[in-house]
Amino acid sequence: MRSVLGAYPGGKVQANPRKACSCCAQQLETGSSTTASSSSTQLPARQPARRRQQAATLPPAYLTAWESNTPHVPATLSHPLAPATSAPRQITNAPTWTFDDALEAADVAALRSMEQSRLARRHGREGQLPPTPTVLTQLPSQLTPQTLSNALILVDKPRDWQDRDVIRALKWGFRVDTIGHVGSIETLATGLMLVCMGQATRLTPIFHQLDRVYSGTIHLGAATETYDATGRVVETLPWRHISDEDLSAAASHFLGETLLVPPYMTTHKVGGRTFKRTALRDGKEGPLLPQPVYVSEFSVSREPGSKEVAFSIKVGRGGMMRSIAHEFGRVLGSASHLSSLRREAIGEFSVQDAWVMELLMPLLTKYRRSSRQHRQRRAA
């Protein structure tokens, strides 16, 4: 109450006498007004011990203001709430702020040194590659814990299986804790999955840079909301005017690096969150930025008078096949979507050397049962 009365010189303050202290309540009941001259009201003689201890640590310039409960103002400055005079008071000893080039250069050098150290540690970790992994081609003779601690296996993914379903089944069968695969693959697609186990998972950043080879078919005349055969048809356009020369010209349009917008149901992340989950939860499309895709080979063919176009393509990392199939029809002046897809190779790894899940899972089930029996015999 005293600080408020002293901060507004010449003003009247209406307050509830029951909520004020004894001295202020007496002034309010008699109707007396508080002016700027009353701002020097002294504090009661009795002060809390905590306040006396704090006041003892203050310098003399602030001690007077502390005792009078008024803000301390330097002699060169006017009170911010004082009445305005005819001419504003000039600040004589105002500090001058300058940009210190020497300190800035030192900060930049320190940041540069920290970044170089971080990159050196990162390159050092990447340079320490694990031993050459074993490619599992002879089962069950290679099903040993020593081999599985650093191994690769090529798997031919069935249709309508998600890549995480394959990984879950292999993790259960091989009884390994560390397992992963190189490059996501569409649910409707079949073909090669390069699965790494144990120490071989440290090689996945290198395998991600390898080119992929795909084959499949593109359906002309209809566009879907998911850019593939699983989605609802949203657009139908004529396609019979398209010739074989137009197909070849459209395929050459995608050679090199091009920008493509990911499909609506995609696993690309927007704002750190998978866009597919966000779309399923919110039920609406959001902003999707174009992604660069590099195509080194693209060939197409079809039967006379057919709307199914067979293709073979070689793309780099992040090749969005559904987006390529969707834009293929746009380039032709029609609509299209991806009807089938198969991954043929990842770098030098071919699907011809991959294990089929129908043959692999019985072997893994037998291995899992035998390893459990072996542990039981050792425990007994």
Query: Following DSSP, what letter does each residue of 39-58 receive, concatenated?
Result: GGPPPPS---HHHHHHHHTS
Q: Which residue positions in the chain have pLDDT lower than 70?
A: 1-103, 123-127, 265-288, 374, 377-378, 380
Whole-number pLDDT of residue 250: 94
Whole-number pLDDT of residue 37: 42
Instruction: Return d(Cα 192, Cα 354) in angstroms, integer.
Output: 7
Instruction: Return d(Cα 233, Cα 108) in angstroms, integer.
Output: 56
Instruction: Return d(Cα 152, Cα 99) in angstroms, integer.
Output: 58
Centre a 10 Å sphere on the Cβ of residue 155 and count the other Cβ atoms it contains. 24
Question: CA separation (Å) from 142 to 136, 174, 201?
Answer: 7, 11, 18
Whole-number pLDDT of residue 260: 87
Whole-number pLDDT of residue 2: 42
Whole-number pLDDT of residue 149: 92
Q: 14: closest CA among 6, 5, 23, 137? A: 5
Question: Chain-wide mean pLDDT for the chain?
Answer: 76
Instruction: Return d(Cα 163, Cα 130) in angstroms, integer.
Output: 25
Q: Cα 270 to the chain's mean position, in Å? A: 7
Whole-number pLDDT of residue 9: 44
Give strand pairing partners of 313. Answer: 214, 298
Whole-number pLDDT of residue 268: 58
b/e per residue, 205-232, with b = 16+ CB within 10 A? eebeebbbbbbbbbbbbbbbbbbbbebe
User: What are the backbone dihedrals phi and psi of residue 308, each rounded to the nearest 5 degrees, phi first?
Assistant: -95, 120
